[in-house]
Amino acid sequence: MLQREPRLADAYVLTSPVTIGMRGETGLSGMHWDVGATPVLVVSNENDGCRVSPFSAARTLAKDSRLQFLAVSSSERGGTGASECGAKSPHGFLGIEAQVLSAVSRWLEDPGTVPN
């Protein structure tokens, strides 16, 4: 939707975006959007261990497409057997959920500012 019709929403938030393609699917890396005045925020955890949504690729996506970027950091894990790509890992912002939600909410109130 963001690429085809960016004006369908007032703003977009991409959390732990799939930037690296696998199994023949394309990721978001290498895509460049002409979103015009539609604000887009990319949120990524520096310690995200998911191989399809690494922090470095999310940061590059934001920079290359001139999207706003929020870097967060947590390394909490949800116990044995927790997936690197699951909710109970840095990928899911485990341990900092309230902090991330608060930052995203502040950004949605004023999408012209980069959240901290």
Name the pTM for this structure.
0.84
Q: Give the residues of the chain that fall short of pLDDT 70.
A: 1-6, 23-36, 79-82, 116
Query: What pLDDT score does 77 carry?
Result: 79
Query: What pLDDT score does 30 carry?
Result: 58
Longest dimension (CA), the chain: 44
Domain boundaries, the chain: 6-109
In this structure, are residues 70 and 107 in contact, taking their beta carbons and an 8 Å threshold? yes
Rounded to an integer, what distance in angstroms lies between the CA atom of residue 4 and that of residue 50? Answer: 27
